[in-house]
Structure formats: C-alpha cells, structure tokens
Structure 1
Amino acid sequence: MKIILCLALVVASHALPKADVYPPHLTPFRVSTPMDQLQTFIRPVQTLPTKVHDVSLEDTIPESFDAREQWPDCPSIGEISDTGNCWAPWALSAVSVMSDRFCIHSKGEKKIKVSAEDLLGCCQDCSLGCLGGYPDTAWDHWVKNGIVTGGGYGDTDGCKAYAYESCNHYVEGSEKATCEVLEDQPTCVKQCDSSSFNYENELTFGKNGSAYALSLEDAQIQLEIMTNGPVQAEIVLYRDFYDYKSGVYQPAADTFPIVLHFVKVIGWGVENGTPYWLGANSFNTEWGDKGFFKISREVKSIRLLAIFGGLPEL
C-alpha cells in the first residue's frame, strides 16, 4: 500500500493550521523528526520511470527563469487555483501542469484547461477524494484513461468545473468563509456540466509512455522546466507557510511540518543571495504573493521531495 502523509493528516493541517491541539489520530509530526525520516513517510511509492536530462546541458541553465515570461502566450501558467473545502492540491497542481504543457507544446494553439474535478472522481486508483491522492498515479491515469476539460469553480469554459468554492486559507482580512476540509468522495460521472459539451469529445490525454518522475538534482528539475514547462512538486507544508507573504520562504525554527503538499513549480532565481524555487500554490490569489511563492533551494527542510511531469497527446 502506498504511504502518503496527506491521506492521514490532511484534515488537521488544512482545517486547523494555527491550532496547538489536534485529535490524537491526526497529530502532526514532531519538530524533532529528521527530514530523511519525513521523506520515508511522505514520498509515495514510485510507480513512474525516472526521466534523466543530459547533464552536458547544465551550462545552458540561466540564473533565473520564469515560465510565465518564457511562454507569454500560455496564460494558464500564471493562473492560481483554489482547493477550497476539499484537500486536492495533488489533483489541482497536476492538471495545472497538464494544461500548461498543452499550450506550450502546441505553441500556444491549445489553451485548454484539464479538469481537476474529473481527475478527483474518475481516477479510482489515485484518489481518496477530499482526503488526498497519489500524483504519480494521476499522471498514469491521464495517459491511459484521459481527463476531460474543465476549470475552476463556476467555470463554464470546459466539460467539468471544480465543485468546491473558493474559501479563506487563513488570510487576515479576507471576506471569504474560512476553509474547512470536507470528507467528500466525488463520484465519477462521465457527463459534462452542460449539454453543449460531449464527455468523450472533451477527453484530453497524455502521450503514451510520457508520464515520468524527475531525479531531485536542481539541474535536472531546471532542465525539465526549461524544456517541457512547469512541473508538479511534492513538499512538506509547515504551519507558518500559511503566513507567507513575500520573499524567499524557509520554515521558522519554532514551526513544525504538518502535512504533505503539492504545488506547481514554474521557475527559479536568486534573491538577496538566496537561491529559490518559484511556485504556484492552490490557496487562491489572496494567499502569499498573489498565489505565488518562493522557497529556498538551500534549506533541506523545505526541499522538493518528488517531481512529476508528462507530455500531452496533441
């Protein structure tokens, strides 16, 4: 059985990030837990092949890179999703990367959004609904079964829109209702929200044999982003990450890791001498730097723990 922390701890992490007391079965990690032990528990069993880029190309890697600037004709790269009252960052970050890569590899001709709602309901082997999921299996599902088009809550430009409304991810001054994770298990309904779309016609696919993981060396991740577009990344979410506003984030000494989290990484750079990864979160644009963030590439406690990607069938 795959071991993935978000399946066990997600309710506590999302609904009670500021709390000091958690239900016994949802207790987060202790501060003293070593990172190598954390990685043992939170990294899913690897089912995808590992793609390796030619290391001779390392000299081509620039000091900074932003996929939004590299592919300005692909607006999905700069869009921020919202997991709402369903803990589905694993699904939202996956379909966001898939959407970006459709646009990038079609040279801007296919500006489609891949549906997180369809992935949540129809990937039986990768989803426990609003209590987490397995991103490696999600990429495999895209290749073998396909995922229909569809955007965020209320979006009518696609087959199946995300069913969970935006909420407040503990941002002071927000007028949105506070997020509270639901234990929903979306069902697989092979029908579009509107009769204007046909489910089978709206299916998108990953290219056969194209779903993969990346090794965790910086150069391999950078070459992948430069070559194929943003990637899906697995990180540890710390309690003080909810308070992030700007700059290069690294966990405070007195914080603790709560849960596994999945984000989209769109680039990298250096700020005030600190190398960072540039990422897009799924807590809507009120959070962080309009939904984006930078995390240190030097601090081991916030390192990327797994990277996933794939290529679209155009």
Structure 2
Amino acid sequence: MAPWLQLLLLLGLLPGAAPAPNEPRAAGAQAWELESPELLEPARFALEMYNRGRAARTRAALRVVRGRVRRAGRGSLYSLKATLVEPPCNDPTVCQLRVSKKTLLCSFEVLDELGRHMLLRQDCGPVDTKITGAGIPRDAGIAQVRLPSGVSPDSSLFQLSPPDDKNETFSSFLPLLNKDPLPQDFSVKMVSIFKDFVTTYNRTYETTEEARWRMSVFANNMVRAQKIQALDRGTARYGVTKFSDLTEEEFRTIYLNPLLKEEPGKRMRLAQSIPDLPPPEWDWRSKGAVTKVKDQGMCGSCWAFSVTGNVEGQWFLKRGSLLSLSEQELLDCDKVDKACLGGLPSNAYSAIRTLGGLETEDDYSYHGHLQACSFSADKAKVYINDSVELSQNEQKLAAWLAKKGPISVAINAFGMQFYRHGISHPLRPLCSPWLIDHAVLLVGYGNRSATPFWAIKNSWGTDWGEEGYYYLHRGSGACGVNIMASSAVVD
C-alpha cells in the first residue's frame, strides 16, 4: 500500500475506514422475532446496518419489541423498538477485554421508498439504564472517546459562533496518529460544548441513552473534523455544524445522493464552448439570477435543487423574471429518478420537458418526501427546450458561467458535514472525482487572497456553511466539480 494511503487509513479518513463510536463487538448470529410479518424486512435491514463491517462471530442478534409504520406517498417509515443481544466474547483476537453477554435497547427508523431501504436513525443503550428524562445527564461520561495529542476541547474547532481566522490554529497531522488518553476534565468540557450545540440547533432526544449516544457521536465527529482540517490545503475551517451529531453513515444516507456515482444517466449533447476568455471574477447573485438558499431537509433530493436552480437562472436570463421553482414536482413526477433516494440532473431535465414545464414553489410547495404527482400543466410557469453537457475544462466552465448563467454540477461531498467557511481544498485521494455524491449549483467564481474559488449554492439551508454557500478550490478539479456540469436550454 502506498505510504499516503496508509496515512489516510490510519487517520480514519478513507471511506469505510473509521468504525462507528461505541461499536460493541461480541460473538453471535443474526436472528429476529417479530410481532408482524410486515416488520421483517425493515428489521432485517436495521440489523444488517448495525452489523455492517463485523466478522460473523461478532454480530449481534435482534428481537423486535414493537413497531409502527407511517405511509407517505409510495414510501413507508418504520419505527422499531428492539432488543439487541451480544453474546459473550472471549476470543483475544476479536476482543481486547473479555466481556459478558450484553443486551441493548435500540430504536430504529427505516424508510422504505420505491423498494429500497434507508436507515434514518439508530439509537442504542443498555436495557438496565435508568431513564431520568430526555435531557443530557450531568454525569454523561464519554471516557471511551480519545482525542489526539495537542487537540483541546477549547480549540476554535468547537466554537459555535463564526470563528476569527487570525485566532484559529490547528496542529499538524502527525499528532493525530497519537493515541493519548483524554485529559481528566475533558468529559465536563465536552458536555458543555455538546449542550451548546443542542441549544444552538434546537436538538431534542427522547431518552438519556439517545443523548449519550449522540454526544459520543458528536465527540468522535470533532476528532474527524480536526483531521480533515489538518489535511485541507485551502482556507476552509471545519468544526461544529448542524450535522455534528450524525454518524457518517447517517449523514450520507439522509443528505447525499449515491446515484450520481452509481448510474451514468442519459447522455446529453455537448454545449458549444465560449470562445472568449472568462472575466477574472463573476457572481450571478449580484445580478439577480439566483433565488434564496433552500433546504432539502432529511431527503436526498439535491439533484432536484441543483436542476431547478439552473432553470431559474436560465429563465431569468432569457425572460427577465426570477421565479422560485418547484423541487417537489420533480420528486413526485419524475418517474425515472428516485425522489429522496437520489436522482440525476440529466433525468430531471428530461422529466421537465416530458411534463411540459415547472410550477413555482408557491403553487407546488416542498414537503421533503415522495407524494402523488399533482402537476398541472395550466400552472406551469417555466419550460425548457433542451439540456446540454458542459466542458470539463474549468476555464471553459468559468467562461460559460459568466456568459450563460449558473451551472448544475455534482461533487464529492467529503468534509462538507463539518464545513463552516472558507475555501475548501481537500487532498485528491480524500475527495475523489470518481465518488461524487452531491448535486449543487455553481453561481460564480473569483479569488480570495490569491486563492481561486468556485461559489456554490447548496441546499442545506442558510444555517450551514457561509449562509448556505460552499466555496471550493477552482482550477484543480477539486472533488470532481468539473465532471458532471450541465445546463438546461431556454430558447
């Protein structure tokens, strides 16, 4: 293995390299008992996700205590309460310490949409733990979490208010390999930091066990954000965000779009390049071609927001009016894409043409889950004539953007879970252009202190990033930003 790959593996930054916090290990086989046959598949899936990455002898067994299902369009949301049994582990090659059989009480939420399952929530805790309320207990210890040497809970990494760049200092990546234990007062400080996070982002947890689990996830995420920070070559700052209490798997499952890397999509004709050199900087926000930042919610619908943002800009440039268009129409009525489970811009353009246009946000509002299609051609306010692929040359992309309008692109979302501000420039092995999983909108470009950037409109609300925007290094093919660029055509 190449030395840099070994380093990234040790840092836990390669996909699948970092285990979930508090992941117990014990021997056993999969099993389940159910009150209703309808719960069989979601329970099987929840157990599979819980046991992911474990050897056969380390897998837990599951028994559903109770469950309920809610219907939404063509989807079903299963809420399961279950006990997980982890038999004794006495094998020194698997367990560092001998452990007795452990029983956990778990809550799972599994979404079944278009025949595909997604795990939206997993919370587990000891069955015999006394429940004292939904708040965070004073003595919520996290002694199992380790920070690298030189990393302090007082670091600006943990600040919730926008940090001051000149006061931010981060250790180099070498201390990140150290396994020093936590300082004695770390638990107290982390509880305080986590409580600030809970207050800032209005988090509520149903049980003490869930709160403890989320705080453990939060602390491990701060370590991961520190590692990402140390290896970033740009000016970006990573730390506490509204996604800091989600595991990497949860974040990817809920907010990202795996179809972008799994399916090639429909080929579009190649757009003619702009012969002129691009101006040194450009920003369509200041020229009235970009609507306000939207929020896709707990739904992998970024593809729809990327496309509507592009069509909004195209319509503005051709017709002179800026309309906020309906993403929900695409979720409900695009029968090729998969709503909250992901989609492709190329399919969405085709759906708009087939349907006969897009309604506005006011007429067809966003709900963030699949519903029955209620598109009305009489209410369509915008149409498109065609769609085109754009050059992968970033200078040509900049020229096209300045002349023609905002561009739909897809990127690898590495590090975005913890992005706060600045220009992101991850190492290429960490942010491979072949692993793109998030669709966004290029709205401009420029330079900050001689660092070239793309200005990117995201769809995670204004309480993420720089008021909803992401800034990515320009000119290096960072995170595959140039791989899947496209636009609608309005004549």
Same fold at TM > 0.5: yes
Q: Structure 1 112/39 Cα, relative in aligned 2: closer, same or farther at 3 Å?
A: closer
Match 2:295 to one of 75, 82, 93: 82
Structure of higher CA gyration radius = 2
Aligned mate of 1:143, from 309, 333, 353: 353
Q: Could you tell me whether the CA contact under 8 Å between 1:10 and 1:259 is conserved in 2?
A: no
Kept after mapping to 2: 8 A contact 1:9/1:259? no
For the 8 Å contact 1:143–1:205, the answer to whether it is kept is no
| Paired letter, 1:186 | Q
Q: CA-to-partner distance for each residue in 1:119-151, whole Å, 9 max, x for gaps? A: 1111112x2121101110111222232333232
2:325 equivalent in structure 1: 114
TM-score normalised by structure 1 residue count: 0.69
Per the TM alignment, residue 117 of structure 1 is displaced from its structure 2 partner at its CA by: 0.5
Question: What residue in structure 1 maps to residue 418 of structure 2?
Answer: 243
CA contact (8 A) 2:394 2:477 kept: no
5+ residue gaps, structure 1, are: 1-6, 27-37, 152-157, 165-183, 191-198
Aligned positions of 1:1-314 closer than 5 A: 18-19=246-247, 22=249, 41-42=261-262, 44-55=264-275, 57-58=276-277, 61-69=278-286, 71-72=287-288, 74=289, 77-106=290-319, 108=320, 110-125=321-336, 127-151=337-361, 158-164=362-368, 184-190=369-375, 199-208=376-385, 210-238=386-414, 240-251=415-426, 260-304=437-481, 305-312=483-490
Aligned partners of 1:185 and 1:149: how far apart in 2?
Answer: 17
Residue 205 of structure 1: CA displacement?
4.7
Which structure ranks higher in relative contact order (CA pairs < 8 Å, sequence separation ≥ 6)? 1
Q: Is the 8 A contact 1:100 1:230 kept in 2?
A: yes
Q: In the aligned structure 2, how far is the partner of 1:218 from the partner of 1:42? A: 24
- Superposition deviation, residue 255 in structure 1: 5.8
Q: TM-score, normalised by structure 2?
A: 0.45
CA distance in 2, matches of 1:15, 1:235: 19
Unmatched tracts of structure 2, length 5 or more: 1-113, 121-241
Determine the C-alpha separation between the residues in 2 that align with 1:68 and 1:93: 15
Indicate conservation of the 8 Å contact 2:293/2:458, yes or no.
yes
Identity over aligned pairs, percent: 19
Aligned to 2:32: none
RMSD: 3.4
| Aligned-partner residue type, residue 268 of structure 2 | L
**CA distance in structure 1 between the aligned counterparts of 2:325 and 2:475, rounded to whole angstroms:** 33
SS state at 2:350 partner: helix
Q: Give the whole-Å Cα distance in 2 for the aligned partners of 1:9 and 1:268.
A: 38
Task: Return the offset for 1:11.
Answer: 6.2
